Structure 1
Amino acid sequence: MILRGTSLIPGRAQGRLLAGVHENLLQGILLIGHQELPALLAHRGPLPAGIIVRDAARFAHALIRLFSLGIPTVLVSSEQAEAFVPGQWVALDGDQGLLADEPIPPPAQAMAQQVDLQTADGQPIELMASVGDARGAEAAVRLGARSIGLVRSEYLHPEPPVAPDRFFYINALQDLLEASRPLDVTVRLFDYGPDKHVPWWPEAPIAPLGQQGVRLYAIEPISEVLEAELAALDELCRDRPLSLLVPYLTHPWEFEGIRERLQRWPRLRNMPLGAMVETPAAAFALPEWKAMADFVAIGCNDLMQAFDAADRNRPELSAYLDPYAPAWLRFLARLAREGLELELPMRVCGQLPALPGLFPLLIGMGLRSFSVEPAQIPHLASVARLTSSTEAGDLLVQACRASSSMEVRGLLGLART
């Protein structure tokens, strides 16, 4: 029996099926529900060889943090999970999203890393890495990232849980910067979101589409934490050129406020500063970003959440967050087209490029720079080399004219799972 789920983290593993997080997970294939992800991320014992997540919220931060473990992972529905029982031998293929009770043949196309990466028709592609710590930076270098496109600095926390200060950030960021050499690095400024657990801030707001990202920069304790981070970055960029990224923007005046705040730091005031496009309002403000930002990063996960008006951390709303919906593809294509017309440097962040069939469509939109999880880079490099940007553009036109996501899946050769 071979069952097709959804690929999350590439790699292959096999072992006995384990149900639930417990003390010894060594070499097993762990089956857990979405609500058990925090327990797994906090687990300090031996880790499993592979992970199966049941009924996951595909774009939740908990799944993104799972990449830090580097364990091959496949997502399945509850119905699919019922095909396996604890103790059963299971083979898992995170590249193809497959589970089986027998060995799985490897894919015919070997994965490749990027060196001067180009599409089949010669269009340059840049695969950057999104990381949250020094271990992620080491993986980015090892797996062929061209740069660190996004440092999730909000995941850097002191122990015991107290608000990070300048000295903490100097040490934590220095470790990450050393691990990332010789790559260029873009640091996203502290980006609190409702599903990002902050152990030193028990009163943190938890409502989606509320107080998060840049909206908190004038509010304590985040204002003080941001000052500590900026002081550390001003110190660290003496020896290392950096870029900064402002999260969760809605209006240009928010960006102007951060640019003005940076003027107090002698080495930060002229540092490249990017705008994250994670709200529809920001997506329709590209002319303003062209005038004031050095580059733009499209944060697909939050942008899709706002576009579909569905909390991306609630599994019961996952059906509304449909990355194959024609309306969503038309929206992204319009955004990419306007950015190209404005000659605005753009990069794509988030899980979208790694979803089956979507990377060629993004290339077809004219997008060329992508910041993804380090583990996804070799596979995406292989996909890029096999993709003709001209043919991908023609396929995009068909996808945007489709009447349903099922029709788009059919165009991409995907079975509905």
Structure 2
Amino acid sequence: MGEVVRLAGLGVSRGVVAGPVVRMAAPPVLPAPRPVGDAEAEGAVVAGALEAVAAGLRERAAAAEGDAAEILGALAMIADDPMLREEAEQGVRDGLDAPHALDAAFTRHREAIAALGGYLAERAADLDDLRHRAVAFALGVPMPGLPSPGHPYVLAAEDLSPADTAGLGPDVLALVTAKGGPTSHTAILARGRGLPAVVACPGVMDLADGTYVCVDGVTGEVTAGISREEAEAACERDRLERERLAATGGPGRTADGRPVRLLLNIGSAADLVPGGEGVGLFRTEFLFLGREREPSFDEQVAAYAEVFGRAAHVVVRTLDAGTDKPLPFLGLPPEHNPALGMRGLRVDRVLPGVLDTQLDAIAEAARRTGAEAWVMAPMVATRDEAAGFAARARARGVARVGVMVEIPAAALLADRLLEEVDFLSVGTNDLSQYAFAADRQHPALADLLDPAQPALLRLVAACAEAGLAAGKPVGVCGEAAGDPALAPVLAGLGVTSLSMAPSCVPAVRDALSRHTYAECRELARAALS
């Protein structure tokens, strides 16, 4: 047995597994530029490459479900972008061969997105994947993709595109990437599948293929050089724990019976699985991604009704466009800092018809299914915004109206907001980003983005205390909600529901059941101090 090597990353999807590492193949290498004899033929290669990439993504989207299908569809739209194609074809007219013209066009688009910072900077990795595929087609070499070693393996990559994450087969035991953030597409899709994953793990690509490693998706530790017996023992402990948790059931509650509702985060009806007590976050923007035009009223009614018909309780978040979810049909101008610009409810300031149609569709879907629709708006900052949204939703017969608390200003005004709405839902991902002025995708700032930070918990506590005083529910739907170590603390603060990825529910249910409410209150007091 060689020297033990311990690599540290961010654990983003629970589970402990062991197996041989197989590294993702390197992207295609551009050869030296060559003279262009026939510009028309070279332009046809450019067009063919982009069409082939888009067609492949659409095919994979058709075979996928839920978030994966929506993300793949959005990527296909990027490959189909007429501006991208025109820029690459202009490169040919300027004397570049097809592979170099494609490379130059993707590079310029990537630089423009990366310069915007925030969420969009991480989405630049998606463009890298499209670039690699298009250049490979133009060179006549196989498109980069997932390795197929013929045996189960731990996949290591510099970064992993949504297209590749969505296409992972059952032979992939775990994911480890050198880059990425806790809310990247890779992390979201891995959690949705219950696949152990670690991101922002420098050094993983230095491991030789075949190196036997143990991956802990909770602690973020990747260990090489330990014996198979040690690794197998760790995996066996994890397996037994998962079996124990899977055997539990029922509603969320503390040891002495105080209820804490356990809800699911979903993007469509395809994400619904047994285990939760309903849906605490229906992210409707996935219906809008990858679209050249706004979904029609009837399309929206059908999508919402499908979810309402399959879940006893559903909280719908209205369109959260902007930042990492740019929607071309909105026609919003580029922004220097999109995380602080026209996103969430603020889109309504320039395009009110989009929200009106969505509210009409939600109300109609509720009428057709007999569901009690709960609807909340994202990125609310003021009491006036909350009141305006509530009035429009109630005018359409929406049963319960709420708002997201993602901005410190909203947390500080929680009592006033609850005078206008029926419930609050705290989005800890964005709330931590804005409270600590720390990009939520930045792996080097993970300590500031830790939801156990006392300053963040005090903001959550302010919301929960306002809810208790008003007799109205206050939930948490950020990544903190799925952390079993933090769930008793949030319950002790007075949070009434926790909404999370389905794979997180068993561990959170178990953690709550091990503490009385008085113990949760004591844990909360300790965490706040």
1:17-416 equivalent positions in 2, closer than 5 A: 17-20=21-24, 22-25=144-147, 27-33=152-158, 36-41=160-165, 43-44=166-167, 46=169, 48-59=172-183, 63-75=187-199, 77-79=201-203, 81=204, 84-94=207-217, 97=220, 99-100=222-223, 102-103=231-232, 104-107=235-238, 109=241, 110-112=244-246, 113-137=248-272, 139=273, 142=274, 144-157=275-288, 161-178=292-309, 181-198=310-327, 200=329, 203=332, 205=334, 207-220=338-351, 223-238=352-367, 239-241=369-371, 242-262=373-393, 265=396, 267-268=397-398, 271-355=399-483, 357-401=485-529
Q: Secondary structure of the residue that 1:347 maps to in structure 2?
A: strand
Structure 2 segments unaligned to the other structure (5+ residues):
26-143, 225-230
Q: Is residue 128–residue 372 contact of structure 1 (8 Å, CA) maintained in 2?
A: yes
1:35-83 deviation line (CA, Å, top 9, x unaligned): 5344535x5574733212334433457633543444222345315x367
* Aligned-pair identity (%): 27
Q: Secondary structure of the residue that 1:235 maps to in structure 2?
A: helix
Structure 2 Cα separation of the partners of residues 355 and 149 of structure 1: 16
1:126-172 deviation line (CA, Å, top 9, x unaligned): 111111122211x2xx2x10111110001113766432221321233
Higher helix proportion (structure 1 or 2): 2
| Cα 1:317–1:184 shift into 2, 3 Å | same
1:86-105 deviation line (CA, Å, top 9, x unaligned): 33344445466554553223
Give aligned pairs, total.
Answer: 387
Alignment-mate amino acid for residue 240 of structure 1:
G
Alignment-mate amino acid for residue 175 of structure 2:
I
Alignment-mate amino acid for residue 135 of structure 1:
A
Alignment-mate amino acid for residue 324 of structure 1:
A
Structure 1 Cα separation of the partners of residues 349 and 364 of structure 2: 22
Structure 1 Cα separation of the partners of residues 417 and 265 of structure 2: 22
Structure 2 Cα separation of the partners of residues 321 and 95 of structure 1: 16
Aligned-pair Cα RMSD in Å? 3.0
Which one is further off, 201-210 or 167-176? 201-210
TM-score (norm. length: structure 1) = 0.81
Q: Is residue 261–residue 496 contact of structure 2 (8 Å, CA) maintained in 1?
A: yes
Give the deviation of 1:208 after TM superposition.
1.3
1:319-353 deviation line (CA, Å, top 9, x unaligned): 43233333333333343233323323111111013
| Cα 1:30–1:227 shift into 2, 3 Å | farther
Q: Is residue 24–residue 147 contact of structure 2 (8 Å, CA) maintained in 1?
A: no
Q: Secondary structure of the residue that 2:522 maps to in structure 1?
A: helix
| Cα 1:311–1:46 shift into 2, 3 Å | same
| Cα 1:14–1:226 shift into 2, 3 Å | farther
Q: Is residue 364–residue 392 contact of structure 1 (8 Å, CA) maintained in 2?
A: yes
Q: Secondary structure of the residue that 1:49 maps to in structure 2?
A: strand
Alignment-mate amino acid for residue 317 of structure 2:
R
Q: Secondary structure of the residue that 1:360 maps to in structure 2?
A: helix
Other-structure match for 1:404? none
Which one is further off, 275-284 or 392-401? 392-401
Q: Secondary structure of the residue that 1:150 maps to in structure 2?
A: strand
Q: Is residue 129–residue 371 contact of structure 1 (8 Å, CA) maintained in 2?
A: yes
Higher strand proportion (structure 1 or 2): 1
Structure 1 Cα separation of the partners of residues 445 and 334 of structure 2: 21
TM-score (norm. length: structure 2) = 0.65
Alignment-mate amino acid for residue 305 of structure 1:
Q
